[in-house]
Amino acid sequence: MGHRRAGMRLFALGAAAAVLAAGCSNASNTGPPPSSSSAPGVSAHQINVGAVATLSGGVAADFAPIVPGVRAYLDMVNADGGVDGRKIVLTKALDDGTVNNAQVTRTLVEQDHVFAIVGMATAFFTSAPFLVATGTPTFGYATENDWSPAKNLFAAYGSVVDYSTTRPFFPFIAKQLHAHVAAVVAYGVPQSADECKGAVSALKQYGVSVGYSDLSVQINGSLSSDVVHMKQAGVDFVVSCMDVPGNLELSRSLQQNGLTGVKQLWLDGYDLSTLRQYTSLMQNTYFLVQHVPFQAGAQFPGVFPGLREYIATMNKYEPAYTYNEVSMEGWLNAALFVAGLRAVGPSLTQQKLVAAIDHITKFNAGGLTTATNWEVAHVRVSPPSCETFVAVKGDDFKVVFNRGKDIWVCFPTTGLADLAHPVAPPPGAPGT
C-alpha cells in the first residue's frame, strides 16, 4: 500500500496561489521543540493530541471529515479504558482555512503542547518542515509527496504518493469492461493531472486505444466541448481525475450528448450521500478503493470484522460520517497512533512512539487495508500494489472484479503487469 491517489482532493486555483504564498512565509519558521519535557501533553492519566484540517470554505468537505474519524476511534479506545491507563483526548481540532496550515499547527505544538497531531488534512501541508524540526508525531492524509521521507510523518496507506503503482489498474478495468476507445480528463493542476498522465500512457501501453484526452480542464468549467470530441472519437470508457463537481458535470454532458452507456472510472466520489443525491448521474460509474469498501460487510457477511467494528463505532459516535472516505482516513490515522502507543508502553516519549511505529511491518488497522510496512513506507511502496473496485448499482455501491471473498486486485509495482492474471494479495490481506 501507500500509493494514495493525491488527485482525489482538489481545490480552487485562486486558493492555491494564496496558500503557496502563506506556506513560503510560515514554513521556514522552524525551531526547537516547545517544551523541555520529552513527552509534551502527557500526564499520568491523559494524552493530549490535536488535529488540523480545512474545516471551512469551499473544499472543507474534502478534508474536515478526518476529525470525526479520529474522534470515533479514540472514543472507542477510551471507552475500553484508554492505553496504559491514559485516556487519549483530542483537545483541539483547528481550522487552517486552507491558507494557514503552518500557523495553526504551530499553535497546537507551541501553545497547546499537544503530544501528537492525529488528523492532518489539508490541500497544502505547509507545516511539514516545522513538524519535522520539532519531531512531533503527525498522522494524516497525503495529497502530495511532502510527507516523505520524514520518520515522524505518517500518512494513511503510507507516506509516498507514487502514481506509477496505479498504472495497471486503468487498462485492467478498461479490459474488464470490454472498452474499445478510452478518454481521459483532468484539471490542469498537478494534483489532478499527474495521475491521469500515467493513465493515458498506461492505457496505450496495454493496448487500449485513447481516442481523446484533456489534462487541462478548467476547474468549474464546461465539459461540453470535451464530450463532443469523445462522441466523435467513439469513446465508450472515460477515466476522470477530477473532483465530484467536475465528475457530475462530465456525466451530465455525456447524457446530454446521448452517451448514456459510456462507462466511467472516477477517482473521487465514492460517497453514499453523493450517490443518493445524484443517482441518475452516477450510473455506469466505477471507483478504485484502497480500504475494504463500506458495502463489503453486507456483500460478504462475517468476512470483514474490522469493517463491522468501524461501521458500528462510527454509527455510535459519528453517524453522519460513517460512509465517508475521509473519515476512514481519520480512523486509520488514530488506529496507527494507538498501535504505536501500545507498542511503546507506559514510559512514553515522542521519540519512542516514532521509533515503535517505524518498526511496525504489517499494519492493516484491524483488517481494513492490506498491510503497510512502516519500515519502508516513508520512502517507497511495498509490492504488490492492491486496490478494490466498486461499481454503482442503482442507489448503492457493489464490490466488483472480486474472486469470491478475495476483494483485492493486485499488480507488481515494477515491470509489465499481466492484466489477465493479477497477483495474490500480500499475506493477511482482509478477506483472504
Task: For residue 64, give the C-alpha cell.
Answer: 474536515
Are 182 and 249 in the same domain? yes
Residue 130, in any domain of the structure: yes
Tens-place pLDDT, residues 97-156: 999 999 999 999 999 999 999 999 998 999 999 999 999 999 999 988 999 999 999 999
Q: What is the per-residue pLDDT for 37?
A: 42
Please name which of 346, 312, 326 lies closest in space to residue 142, comparing C-alpha atoms.
326
Task: For residue 313, give the C-alpha cell.
Answer: 463505532
* DSSP assigned state of 403: B
Residue 364, in any domain of the structure: no
Count of Cβ atoms closer than 10 Å to residue 261 Cβ: 9
**Rounded to two decimals, what is the model's pTM?**
0.92
Kindly report the CATH number assigned to the domain that includes residue 332: 3.40.50.2300
Indicate the length of the chain as a whole number: 432
The mean pLDDT value for 191-202 works out to 94
Residue 74, in any domain of the structure: yes
Are 114 and 170 in the same domain? no
Are 223 and 265 in the same domain? yes
Are 48 and 73 in the same domain? yes
The mean pLDDT value for 64-80 works out to 98
Are 169 and 189 in the same domain? yes
Are 25 and 118 in the same domain? yes
Are 82 and 110 in the same domain? yes
Residue 78, in any domain of the structure: yes
Q: What is the per-residue pLDDT for 177?
A: 98
Tens-place pLDDT, residues 33-46: 333 346 999 999 99
Domain count, the chain: 2
Q: What is the per-residue pLDDT for 38?
A: 65
> Parallel, antiparallel, or unpaired for β 87-95 and 153-155?
unpaired
Count of Cβ atoms closer than 10 Å to residue 286 Cβ: 21
The three-state secondary structure class of 53 is strand
Burial grade of 107 (CB within 10 A; 0-12, 13-18, 19 or more): middle
Tens-place pLDDT, residues 22-35: 444 333 333 333 33
Range of the domain at 93: 6-162+311-357
DSSP per-residue letters across 109-123: IIIS--SEEEEEE-S
Are 77 and 142 in the same domain? yes
Q: Which amino acid, residue 66?
A: I
